Structure 1
Amino acid sequence: MLVKVHGSAVFGVDAITITVEVNIDKGIGYHLVGLPDNAVRESSYRISAALTNVNYKLPGKKIIINMAPADIRKEGAAYDLTIAMGILGASNQIQSDTLHEYVIMGELSLDGNLQPIKGALPIAIKAKEEGFTYLILPKENAKEAAIVEGLTVYGVSNIKEVIEHFNGEQSLEPEKINSEAIFNSFQNNLDFDFSDVKGQESIKRCMEIAAAGGHNIILIGPPGAGKTMLAKRLPSILPPMTLDEALETTKIHSVIGKVKDSGILYQRPFRSPHHTTSDVALVGGGQYPQPGEISLAHNGVLFLDELPEFRRSVLEVMRQPLEDREVTISRAKFTITYPSSFMLVASMNPSPSGYFNDENNPLLSSPAEMQRYMGKISGPLLDRIDIHIEVTPVPFEKLSEERKGESSTEIRKRVIKARAIQSKRYEQFDEIHYNAQMTVKQIRTFCVLTEESKRLLKNAMEKLNLSARAYDRILKVSRTIADLEGSSEVNSAHIAEAIQYRSLDREGWLG
Structure 2
Amino acid sequence: MKIIKSATLQTIETKSVDVEVTFTNGLPSFTIVGLASNIIQESKDRVKSALLTNDFKFPAKKITINLSPSEIQKSGTHFDLAIALLIALYETKVNFEGFYVFGELSLDGKIKDCSSIFPLVLSLAKQNLLKNVIVCSASAKKISKIPNINIYSLDTLSQAIDFFKFNSKEKYLYQNESFDYESVKIDDSIYYYLNKYEVDFSEVKGQDFAINAALIAAAGNHNILFEGSAGCGKSMISKRLRYILPPMSLEEILEKAKLQAIDYKDIDFSPLRVFRNPHHSSTKSSLFGGGSGNSARIGEVALSNAGVLFFDEFPHFSKSSLEALREPLEDYKVLISRVNSKVIYDTKFLFIAAMNPCPCGNLLSKVKECRCSELEVQRYKNRLSEPLLDRIDLYVTMQEPSINDKTKYSSKQLHKKVIDAFILQKKRKQTNLNGKLSDKQINKFCKLDGESEIILQKAISNFNLSFRSINKVLKVARTIADLNANENITKQDLMQSLSYRKR
Residues 324-348 of structure 1 show CA distances to partners (whole Å, capped at 9, x for unaligned) of 2222333333432222211111111
> Does the C-alpha gap of structure 1 residues 217 and 147 become closer, same or farther in structure 2, counting only changes over 3 Å?
same
Match of 1:408 among 405, 408, 411: 411
| Cα distance in 1 for residues equivalent to 2:97 and 2:470 | 61
**RMSD of aligned residue pairs (Cα, Å):** 3.1
Which residue is equivalent to 1:106? Answer: 103
Which residue is equivalent to 1:173? Answer: 172
Which residue is equivalent to 2:280? Answer: 275
Letter aligned with residue 337 of structure 1: I
Shift of 1:208: 0.8
| Cα distance in 2 for residues equivalent to 1:386 and 1:306 | 18
Q: TM-score, normalised by structure 1?
A: 0.85
> Does the C-alpha gap of structure 1 residues 314 and 132 become closer, same or farther in structure 2, counting only changes over 3 Å?
closer
Checking the alignment, whether the CA contact within 8 Å between 2:278 and 2:310 is kept in structure 1 is yes
Q: TM-score, normalised by structure 2?
A: 0.86
Shift of 1:488: 4.0
| Cα distance in 2 for residues equivalent to 1:350 and 1:443 | 36
> Does the C-alpha gap of structure 1 residues 129 and 178 become closer, same or farther in structure 2, counting only changes over 3 Å?
same
Match of 2:141 among 124, 140, 143: 143
Which residue is equivalent to 1:476? Answer: 475
Shift of 1:150: 3.5
Checking the alignment, whether the CA contact within 8 Å between 2:229 and 2:365 is kept in structure 1 is no
Which residue is equivalent to 2:300? Answer: 293
Checking the alignment, whether the CA contact within 8 Å between 2:333 and 2:344 is kept in structure 1 is yes
Which residue is equivalent to 2:65? Answer: 65
> Does the C-alpha gap of structure 1 residues 131 and 501 become closer, same or farther in structure 2, counting only changes over 3 Å?
closer
Which residue is equivalent to 1:500? Answer: 499
Shift of 1:459: 7.2
| Cα distance in 2 for residues equivalent to 1:3 and 1:445 | 56
Q: Any unmatched runs of 5+ in structure 2?
A: 184-191
Match of 2:377 among 370, 383, 407: 370
> Does the C-alpha gap of structure 1 residues 124 and 268 become closer, same or farther in structure 2, counting only changes over 3 Å?
closer
Match of 1:390 among 388, 391, 397: 397
Shift of 1:170: 8.1
Match of 2:195 among 188, 191, 202: 188
| Cα distance in 2 for residues equivalent to 1:167 and 1:440 | 57
Q: Which moved more, 1:374-383 or 1:101-110?
A: 101-110
Checking the alignment, whether the CA contact within 8 Å between 1:81 and 1:108 is kept in structure 2 is yes
Taking the TM superposition and a 5 Å limit, the aligned residue runs for 1:280-429 are: 280-287=285-292, 288-398=295-405, 405-425=408-428, 427=429
Which residue is equivalent to 1:117? Answer: 115
Checking the alignment, whether the CA contact within 8 Å between 1:3 and 1:89 is kept in structure 2 is no
| Cα distance in 2 for residues equivalent to 1:371 and 1:358 | 18
Q: Is residue 19 of structure 2 the alignment partner of residue 24 of structure 1?
A: no
SS at match of 1:78: helix
The share of aligned pairs that are identical, in percent, is 33
Shift of 1:304: 1.2
SS at match of 1:397: coil
| Cα distance in 2 for residues equivalent to 1:85 and 1:437 | 50
Which residue is equivalent to 2:186? Answer: none
Q: How many residue pairs are counted as aligned between the two chains?
A: 489
Which residue is equivalent to 1:234? Answer: 241
| Cα distance in 2 for residues equivalent to 1:284 and 1:345 | 20
Checking the alignment, whether the CA contact within 8 Å between 1:12 and 1:338 is kept in structure 2 is no
> Does the C-alpha gap of structure 1 residues 188 and 98 become closer, same or farther in structure 2, counting only changes over 3 Å?
farther
> Does the C-alpha gap of structure 1 residues 496 and 132 become closer, same or farther in structure 2, counting only changes over 3 Å?
closer
SS at match of 1:416: helix
Residues 352-400 of structure 1 show CA distances to partners (whole Å, capped at 9, x for unaligned) of 11221435224522222111111112221111101110223322333xx
Letter aligned with residue 56 of structure 1: F
| Cα distance in 1 for residues equivalent to 2:167 and 2:451 | 82
Q: Which moved more, 1:102-111 or 1:116-125?
A: 116-125
Letter aligned with residue 347 of structure 1: A
| Cα distance in 1 for residues equivalent to 2:132 and 2:459 | 67
Checking the alignment, whether the CA contact within 8 Å between 2:115 and 2:262 is kept in structure 1 is no
Residues 118-164 of structure 1 show CA distances to partners (whole Å, capped at 9, x for unaligned) of 14244255268566553122333212322233322134444344234
Shift of 1:267: 1.7
> Does the C-alpha gap of structure 1 residues 395 and 313 become closer, same or farther in structure 2, counting only changes over 3 Å?
same
Which residue is equivalent to 2:189? Answer: none
Letter aligned with residue 235 of structure 2: T
> Does the C-alpha gap of structure 1 residues 96 and 142 become closer, same or farther in structure 2, counting only changes over 3 Å?
farther
Shift of 1:439: 2.3
SS at match of 1:32: strand
Q: Any unmatched runs of 5+ in structure 1?
A: 507-511
